[in-house]
Amino acid sequence: MGARVSHFAHRRGAALLRFDNLTLGYNRHPAVHHLQGEIVSGSLLAIVGPNGAGKSTLLKAIAGELRPLQGSIDRGGLDRRQIAYLTQQATLDQTFPIVVHDFVAMGLWREIGAFLGLGRERRRRVHEAIERVGLHGLEKRPIGALSGGQLQRALFARVMLQDAPLVLLDEPYGAIDAASVRDLATLVRLWHDEGRTVIAVLHDLAHVRQEYPETLLLARELVARGETASVLTAANLQRARQLAEGHGDGTEAAICRVDRDAA
């Protein structure tokens, strides 16, 4: 797997995503205000912030599934299909009669499309991915018979096969046990080592401090961004909470920092 990803490893350090005055929201109600900055290729970035801070909204916009209300995201020519995006609530129908092997193999869609066969080499990669996430022996099990943690592992295996230069994870450890978190975090580290850019929305700050070199703290606007230790300070977190609450009661909702600065 390492050999195949070298083609995007060489771009490490160059800007992969550029936000310019990015404002996002639904039905004209902004949820993220005037975001400015860039994310370099090969980053391992955590997005943290209080509930309603716009973290998932930002991820959705990066994935190209939400048009900005204002400003823009430059994906540097990265196609939407080259982004592996694991959403918080999988839209997946878990009662669907499909076994783990076939489900995971869907990650190969970009290579085989709707018509090509799997072939022996890709079959081997499917098995490898299943083994990597610790689901070995469950290939023939229907996805409906998996536990929450096992399903999340299967979803990670599918992401792995997507072989994407940019991986977006929205609260990937929501309802799973510590052992699963540990295994899946190892996989995320591996993706990082392979030169992929990984951006994850996370709640567990201890986990972020331990695993993520960079953090973006969001509270409907950018609070802080940079090395994790310098971002996750008590002062910054306090400020993020205040901002979120301030926005929450509606009094400050219409005024953004950029607007205030301009005034």
Partner 1 sequence: MNDFLSSLPLFSPFVEFAFMRRALAGCLALSLGATPIGVFLMLRRMSLAGDAMSHAILPGAAIGYLVAGLSLPAMTLGGLVAGLAVALLAGGVARNTVIKEDTSLATFYLLSLSAGVLIISLRGSSVDLLHVLFGSVLALDDPALLLLGAFASLSIVALALGLRLFVLEACDPSFLARISRLSPLAHYGFMVLLVLNLVAGFHALGTLMAVGIMILPAAAARLWVCNVGPLLLLASGTAFAGSLAGLLLSYHADLPAGPAIVLTLGATYLLSLAVGPLGPLASRWRSSWHFER
Dist CA 81 CA 58 (whole Å): 18
User: Nearest distance from residue 161's CB to partner 1, in Å?
Assistant: 11
User: Nearest distance from residue 98's CB to partner 1, in Å?
Assistant: 6
| Piece of the chain touching partner 1 by CB under 8 A; list 13-21, 34-42, 81-89, 194-202 | 81-89
Contacts of 48 (CB under 8 A, 6+ apart): 55, 201, 202, 203, 205, 208, 215, 216, 217, 218, 232
In whole angstroms, what separates CA 236 from the centre of its chain?
Answer: 22
User: Nearest distance from residue 60's CB to partner 1, in Å?
Assistant: 11
Could you tell me the two tokens for 1? 């797997």
User: Nearest distance from residue 115's CB to partner 1, in Å?
Assistant: 7
Max Cα-Cα span within the chain: 64
Could you tell me the two tokens for 83? 């982004």
Q: Applying CB under 8 A, which of residues 24, 32, 63, 216 lies at the interface with partner 1? A: 63
Contacts of 255 (CB under 8 A, 6+ apart): none
> Token match 């005037």: residue?
34
Question: Counting contacts by CB under 8 A, is residue 98 touching partner 1?
Answer: yes
Q: Applying CB under 8 A, which of residues 14, 106, 175, 229 lies at the interface with partner 1? A: 106
Question: Counting contacts by CB under 8 A, is residue 110 touching partner 1?
Answer: yes
Q: Applying CB under 8 A, which of residues 28, 51, 113, 263 lies at the interface with partner 1? A: 113
Question: Counting contacts by CB under 8 A, is residue 215 touching partner 1?
Answer: no
Question: Counting contacts by CB under 8 A, is residue 109 touching partner 1?
Answer: yes
Nearest to 113 by CA among 80, 81, 160: 81
Binding positions for partner 1, rule: CB under 8 A: 63, 65, 80-81, 83, 85, 87, 90-93, 96-99, 102-103, 106, 109-110, 113-115, 142, 144, 162
